[in-house]
A and B are shown apart, each in its own frame.
Chain A
Amino acid sequence: MSIVTRGVNIPLNRAEGDLEVRVEIEDGVVAEAWSAGTMYRGFEAMMRGRGALDGLVVTPRVCGICSLTHLSAAVAALDAIAGVEPPDNAWRLRNLALMMETIQSDVRQSILMFMVDFANRQAYHDLPLLEDACERYSPLAGRAAIEVVRETKRLLQGVAIIGGQWPHTSFMVPGGVTSMPDVSKILQCRIIIERFIAWYERTILGCSLERWQQVGSVTDLENWLEENDAHQDSELGFFLRIARQSDLHLLGRGPNRFLSYGNLVLPEDTTVGGFDGKVSRAGWAEGAEVFPLDAGKITEDTSHSWFAPGKPPLHPFDGETKPYASGHSGQVYSWVKAPRYDGQVAETGPLAEMIIDGRPLFKDLIERQGPSVFARQLARFVRPAALLPPMRVWADELRQHCMDLFYRSVKMIPDGEGVGMVEAARGALGHWVKVRDEKISHYQIITPTAWNGSPRDSEGRRGAWEEALIGTPIADQANPVAAGHVVRSFDPCLVCAVHCLQSGRRTGRMKIDSNR
Chain B
Amino acid sequence: MKRQKTVYWLQGGGCGGDTFSFLSSEFPNIIELFRRLELELLWHPSLSNLSPAEHARLLADILAGEQPLDILMVEGSVICGPAGTGMFDTKDGQPKKEMIYNLAGQAGLVMAVGTCACFGGFGNDQVIEAIGLQFARKQRGGLLGSDFRSASGQPVINLAGCPCHHDVIAGALISAASGVNLELDQYQRPIEWFGTTVHQGCTRNEYHEYRVEESDFGELGCLFFHMGCAGPLVPGPCNKLLWNQQSSKPRAGVPCFGCTDPDFPRATPFFQTPNIEGIPISLPMGVNRAHYMVYKGMAAAAAPDHLKKRTSKV
Contact = CB atoms under 8 A, between A and B. Distances in A.
Interface stretch (B42-50, B172-180, B297-305): B42-50
A164 B247 contact: yes
A37 to B, nearest CB: 13
Contacts of A64: 14-21, 163
Interface string A1-38: 00000000001111111000000000000000000001
A516 B14 CA distance: 10
Interface of B: 11, 13-21, 23-24, 26, 29-31, 34, 41, 45-53, 55, 79, 82, 87-93, 96, 122-123, 125, 127-128, 162-163, 216-218, 238, 242-254, 257, 259, 265, 268-272, 313
Nearest to A515: B46
A516 B29 contact: no
Contacts of B82: 323, 325
Contacts of B87: 325, 503
Given A325-B82, A502-B88, A139 B48 contact: yes
A178 B218 contact: yes
B216 to A, nearest CB: 6
Contacts of A156: 24, 244
Nearest to A121: B49
Given A162-B252, A409-B216, A14 B45 contact: yes
A16 B45 contact: yes
A67 B47 CA distance: 20
Q: Helix, strand, loop or mixed for chain B's interface?
A: loop
A495 B16 contact: yes
B253 A45 contact: no
Interface string A307-323: 00000000000000001
A165 B249 CA distance: 6
A113 to B, nearest CB: 8
Given A39-B89, A46-B125, A511-B52, A516 B20 contact: yes
Contacts of A62: 15
Given A13-B49, A13-B50, A504-B90, A495 B15 contact: yes
A502 B90 contact: yes
A325 B12 CA distance: 19
A167 interface: yes
Interface of A: 11-17, 38-43, 45-46, 50-54, 56-58, 61-65, 67, 112-113, 116, 119-120, 122, 138-141, 146, 149-150, 152-153, 156-157, 159-171, 173, 175-180, 182, 323, 325, 406-407, 409, 411, 438, 478-479, 495, 501-506, 511, 513-516
A61 B29 contact: no
B244 A166 contact: yes
Given A63-B15, A504-B93, A11 B252 contact: no
Given A17-B92, A53-B271, A514-B16, A163 B127 contact: no
A506 B95 CA distance: 12
Nearest to A192: B246
Name the residue among B128, B242, B246 with the largest chain A CB count within 10 angstroms.
B246
Given A152-B23, A504-B93, 19 more contacts: A14-B49, A16-B91, A17-B96, A65-B16, A67-B15, A139-B48, A149-B31, A153-B23, A156-B24, A164-B249, A164-B253, A165-B243, A409-B216, A411-B216, A478-B53, A495-B16, A503-B89, A505-B93, A516-B11
